[in-house]
Chain A
Amino acid sequence: MPKQTFILNGKPVTVNVNDDVRVLWVLRDLLGVTGPKYGCGINVCKACTSHINGKAFNPCSVKVGDLKKKDRVTTIEGLPDTVGKQLHPMQQAWIDRDVPQCGYCQPGQIMAAVATVKKVRREGRQLRESDLDEIRNICRCGTYARIREAVEEGARNMR
């Protein structure tokens, strides 16, 4: 069986599995990294949102064989390390605003929020309401209002 190697939350990992298994299942079923959740498996609900090389992606829709050795995959578990703190400012904002209800979608929401803020910064502009409107992550508890507040607060505290 092929060996798959990539960098997961700062450390290289190697897994024996076929190329075509999607990254979500490699993370959850083989590596026991369960922060990214399954909600649809077809890149719609965004509950598995994680980062690849600092950008948001959905591991349900990427073959593990398409990852390169140097690719850095970051899940919610590795997010605090990216800023060298106990909690990323976005996670802190989520706590301050008491965003989660059931909590199932929230790891994906936070990863999407961080990527959204970084994206608008790359574009050299401020976060707009329309950016928040286009966050695709579903929250079936309907925590959307607090998510919007928390993204804005988290953005203010992100360097």
Chain B
Amino acid sequence: MSIAETATDAGNMHNPSSTAGAAGSGLGRRSFLGYVIGGTTLVAAAEFAAPARSDAVVPSLPQVPELYDLEDLQTDAALPTSALISVSINKDGTASFAIPRAEVGQGITTSTAMILADELDLPVSKVKVTLAPARPELVFNQLTGGSNTTVSTYTPIRVAAAIARNALLDAAAIELGYAVARLRTYDGLVEAPNGTTIGYGELAEKAASPETKQVEVALKEAADRKVVGRPHNRDDALAAVTGQKDFSMDLDVKGALPTMVCRAPTLNGTPRRLKNRKKIKRMPGVKDVVKVDTGIAVRARTFGQCIDAIREMKVVWNKGSAEGESDQTILAGLRRAELPMVVPNVPILADQIDADFAFAFRSSAALEPNCAIADVREDSAEIWAGLKVPILAQQNIAAAIGLRQDQVKVNVITSGGSFGHKLFSDAAIEAAKISKKMKKPVRLMWHRADEPRQGRLHPMCTSRVRATMLGNEVLSFEQRNTSVVTDFSHGLGEIITSTIDEAPTDVGKALGGLGFSETIFTLTQELPYNFGAVTQLLNETDDRFNTGSMRNIYSPDTAVASELVIDMMAKKMKMDPLEFRLKFIKDDRTRACLEKVAKEGNWGRKMPAHRAQGIAVHKEYKGATAVLVEIDTRPSTVNRKIRNAVTGPRVTKVVMAVDAGLVINPRGLEAQMQGGFMDGLALTLTSSCHLRNGKFLEASWDNYFYTRQWNVPRKIDVHIMDPGVDQPGGAGEAGVPASAAAVACAYARAVGKVPTAFPINHGEISFKPKTFVPPVPKSPTNGLKFTY
């Protein structure tokens, strides 16, 4: 009996209502190829053909993402090597799988365990999902980003699990003395018709294959799923709430003492020399002091002593990368680089709206600051860090310390958040350089102040929109984003595409004139409305900043601009914002989300003065979102006082609807949407970085106003749509754009004026900037005064 037939029969026994019989004859269910890997316990790996894409059929000219989007680019890039992804069955009855992605809080270890559990017929608690170290053989298949993890791994990991289950059934057939067709699997057991059971653990060795062999397998039908699609709590929640969840800085690596870097007062300034080295070396706890390209590194017994040493350092600095520049000068540069509109601005009969928005720099820093442990020896190195692109980190670290790639082991540790920040391996590379120079293991952590001042930011950008209307029709909608260069040097996670990004002029031309950023913009932006001639273009200029994606790449800014203009168009046509959107919306899935929030959120209810509703949609990540909010901008609310807090307008109610395709874990998806809302809220109302004279002023969370409890809406409902598809969509970033846009639309309606710069409070600096020399603030000593 072949493996493929085994799958069919077993599936049939397991669920008599399934159409497994048809699959056996090659009809109906698609079969997939994979491997049982040679070894002493069972290991199954997946190989699979390109998944069929459901190419959209649309009445008007489609934009690129409707046919081929960033998800497809990433998924296709992952295809050739997915065969190397394997599931092991262990002697203790558990299954283990090392996912070549980073867990940064988005819940992929949990959702992946759920997918495996379903296909294996094993309890979720017995599926152990860990993070794979850098595996260069995976090439394009080890980048965590673009909300792509489940989109790209869903099928291959199911194939591997299905093959493992079949091999277990084959082994059980011999042990139990029944044909596979008469066995069933549940809860990690194989059961014979006479009620005898045998556990997967007992079968793990028996099911092993001495050699690697290719097998064919069919996957479970949707109706057979018992785990996928049902709410499941996170696999690491207990560890998180008991303080046992280990992040990079919690790992016990021998000799890796606390290490920090004294950084320049101006952006990207470099050190010339440390003037008081002897004094610093004599300070309590200080062990090592070295100069690296980013500053003066100090290694000490405690981080507190590193901070004290940094505050005493007298350093001569070279100039930074943006000397003398401020928000205004950078914005002026963007204005000069703006691309022209196609439609002339003097329409004869038509109405036209011209709008122009500016978006400030924002910090993508997570609560866990940039950090890494590095132990660099003469002929080897080992790194521990939260890395979304570990292969590229390995390549860059090897280059930085003069080792071969295979001499550098890179361990991927669960991160305390990412939001795009951990797409870059800045701390890991820096730690490796410091360790090499000190000849000792180091536990490098950035001070919080280093993050907004020297860390990755979402670039400042402008978004201009020109919409032309005639009567009740929209003739054209043009959007032009102009941005400080977004760093995509992570490419698709390895050196080849990374190199493309670093040399956009040569290779970009070869790719049809698009650099990597423009390609990403084209692959992600999609306006889900029938607005006649739609063009959305990006131009980037000025590469002097440390930038990157920030829980989305371009979408939140693009969505804020386009949805605000849509409200303006509706007003011009004397239509209600919802009615207008419903008239022009392009596809049924986005429409369904919009209708859902309108109904659940009671759209159109009468609001008192200074309060308003706002509604917005976004389509990306193989799905769609809609958000309805109510905002309160009464002076008594805006000016409410909380110690050291930026309060401002308060969103009082949020209703979200998300279509994320096939949902693996609704509880996790709801969490991602709630979190995405908090990001969108901050982007529109409160959080930004101010550039003044070559320096970013922000230095901590009392300067950088990410959403806090006093900003949080007291009511937030998330509705999960069921589009009836078998393709998972993205979740991590999906909640942000429509949230940012809905808050902006509500604010504009509440105050009766459309803001043109975001966040709306960027114009005022509501804090006293902390010192630049020394670059880190003094550690307070009055903590016992604030006990409660």
Contacts and interface: CB of A to CB of B under 8 A. Distances in A.
Interface string B291-310: 00000000001111101100
Interface in B351-372: 365-369
A27 to B, nearest CB: 10
Contacts, number: 234
B701 A45 contact: yes
Specify which of A26, A28, A52, A56 lies most central, judged by the most chain B CB atoms within 10 Å of its CB: A28
A102 B416 contact: yes
A60 B674 contact: no
Interface of B is mostly: loop
A76 interface: yes
A40 B448 contact: yes
B416 A41 contact: no
A135 B709 contact: yes
Interface stretch (B56-64, B82-90, B237-245, B514-522): B237-245
Nearest to A45: B701
B786 A43 contact: yes
Contacts of B246: 34
B634 interface: no
Interface string A127-159: 001001111111111111111100000000000
B781 A101 contact: no
Nearest to B232: A98
A55 B781 CA distance: 17
Interface string B386-405: 00000000000000000000
A41 B307 contact: yes
Contact of A62 (B241, B245, B781): B781
B304 A25 contact: yes
Interface in B225-269: 233-234, 236-247, 249-250, 252, 258
A61 to B, nearest CB: 3
Contacts of A104: 105, 247, 366-368, 416-417
B777 interface: yes
B251 to A, nearest CB: 9
B678 interface: yes
Contacts of B573: none
B671 A42 contact: no
B784 interface: yes
Specify which of B239, B243, B679, B702 lies most central, judged by the most chain A CB atoms within 10 Å of its CB: B243
Nearest to A30: B302
A109 to B, nearest CB: 9
Contact of A42 (B676, B712, B779): B779
Contacts of A107: 240-241, 243
A100 B679 contact: no
A61 B780 contact: yes
Contact of A146 (B307, B674, B787, B788): B674
A60 B671 contact: no
- Chain A contact-residue range equals 35 or more
A38 interface: yes
Contact of B671 (A36, A110, A146): A146
Contacts of A136: 708-709
Nearest to B647: A133
B678 A144 contact: yes
A47 interface: yes
Contact of B788 (A23, A56, A75): A56
Contacts of B710: 133-134
Contacts of A34: 243, 246, 249-250
Contact of B240 (A17, A63, A103): A103
Nearest to A1: B284
B245 A140 contact: no
Nearest to B735: A142
A110 B250 contact: no
A123 to B, nearest CB: 11
B304 A62 contact: no
Contacts of A26: 302
27 contacts: A17-B301, A20-B308, A21-B285, A29-B304, A36-B243, A37-B367, A38-B303, A40-B448, A44-B700, A47-B367, A52-B787, A57-B787, A76-B242, A100-B105, A100-B237, A100-B240, A100-B241, A102-B368, A102-B417, A104-B105, A105-B367, A132-B709, A136-B709, A142-B674, A142-B707, A143-B671, A145-B712
Given A17-B301, A28-B303, A102-B418, 10 more contacts: A21-B305, A29-B304, A44-B702, A62-B784, A63-B781, A101-B234, A101-B671, A110-B241, A136-B709, A139-B367
